[in-house]
Amino acid sequence: MATIDLYLMSPPGPEWQLRGRANFRSATAAPVDARAAIREWLGLADAIEERGGRVLCLIPERGTELTGLPYAAECGQIVEQSGELLFLLPSMFAPYRKGERALWRPVAETLGLKPVDVDDVWEAQGDVATFHGRTLLFFGGRTDPAGVMSAVNYFPDDALLFEIRQPAFHGNMAALPLDAAGKILVCPEVFLDDGLARLTKSFGSEVIVPVSVDEIRAYATNGLPMGNDVLVPHLVPERVTDLMKGWGLNVITLPMVELCEKAGGASRCLVSYARVDEAKITIPPELDYREQRARILADA
């Protein structure tokens, strides 16, 4: 079976702006430079493609009010059940993001995926991670308890559930699994109840490497791993990049002043990733980054 590494993404448009201001960076940030944001987004998409990933992009209509679309980790989650690829559609916490699901549904259908609505508040891959083949599901930042219980049935029976708290508004701020290094960067302070103890028991204390609240506010846990490479925003503290380099990982730093420093979402926030059977996916030209790159670049 030939597999393909899919990265679902959505570029900001030339009128993109901060609308919801729903996180600790965007709440007080200066207005964004939309065209600079497009160039930052292209830099990430190009870096993914250069490393063998296949970027699929939903290009929104000009002037859309759905300004959260570029943060595609919350667009949905591809899972396989009984040989069928499903696309679990989110139910967003923020009112200004609720309309995104209606745009991603036809994308899923065009790709050959079966859309499935998840009830309550569940923010998709923002709150899903894997480490050594084990699924980690998070709630408490934005995803609520009912939402994660609506989603859990679509994941393996041995999935681990963790409750987290702010400033980790998603699981991808609480922990960064790095399979290639056999390590997980974890912020202990945002795990509630016995979550950290269960994580440690499941994988071993030598795997868990702590980072501070200040470091996750600088997106220490929000890099995008691709094999031995990790694509990180420029804000990630040097101590954390040095740790990753010491484990033999290649750290690629990308400028993300608009998308991350101002808007509050880093490289991991900007993609929904899945490895799937290539024969089960159809990639039409309108979703193919390789076909659409020039069109996106023209707005930068």
pLDDT for 24: 60
∠ CA 58-222-198, nearest 5°, is 120
Predicted confidence band of residue 32 (pLDDT cuts 50, 70, 90)? confident
Three-class HEC string of the chain: CCEEEEEEECCCCCCCCCCCCCCCCHHHCCCCCHHHHHHHHHHHHHHHHHCCCEEEECCCCCCCCCCCCCCHHHCCEEEEECCEEEEEECECCCHHHCCHHHHHHHHHHHHCCEEEECCCCECHHHHEEEECCEEEEEECCCCCHHHHHHHHHHCCCCCEEEEECCCCCCHHHHEEEECCCCEEEECHHHECCCHHHHHHHHHCCCCEEECCHHHHCCCCCCCEEECCEEEEECCCCHHHHHHHHHCCCEEEEECCHHHHHHCCCCHHHHCEEEEEEHHHCCCCHHHEHHHHHHHHHCCC
Task: Choose the weakest-confidence range: 40-54, 133-147, 227-241, 255-269.
Answer: 255-269
Parallel, antiparallel, or unpaired for β 250-254 and 229-233? Answer: parallel
Instruction: Count how many domains the chain has.
Output: 1
Separation of alpha carbons 4 and 278, rounded Å: 5
Parallel, antiparallel, or unpaired for β 3-9 and 272-277? Answer: antiparallel
Q: Please write the tens of the pLDDT for every residue from 168-203.
A: 999 999 999 999 999 999 999 999 999 999 999 999
Q: Please write the tens of the pLDDT for every residue from 210-252.
A: 999 999 999 999 999 999 999 999 999 999 999 999 999 999 9
Q: Which domain holds residue 176?
A: 3-297
Separation of alpha carbons 140 and 22, rounded Å: 15
Closest CA to 167 of 194, 147, 143, 187: 187
**pTM given for the model:** 0.95
Q: What is the CATH number of the domain that holds 27?
A: 3.75.10.10
Structure tokens at 245: 């380099």
Closest CA to 15 of 46, 61, 81: 61
pLDDT for 36: 95
Predicted confidence band of residue 264 (pLDDT cuts 50, 70, 90)? confident
| 212 Cβ contact partners less than 8 Å away, ≥ 6 residues apart | 187, 189
Asked whether 267 and 222 are in contact (CB, 8 A), the reply is: yes
Q: What is the mean pLDDT of the chain?
A: 94
If you average pLDDT over residues 78-91, what whole number do you get? 95
Residue 281 dihedral angles phi and psi, to the nearest 5°: -120, 140
Which residue, chain included where needed, has tokens 């991808």?
172
| 23 Cβ contact partners less than 8 Å away, ≥ 6 residues apart | 169, 264, 265
Comparison of pLDDT for 164 and 22, the residue scoring more: 164
Separation of alpha carbons 27 and 12, rounded Å: 19
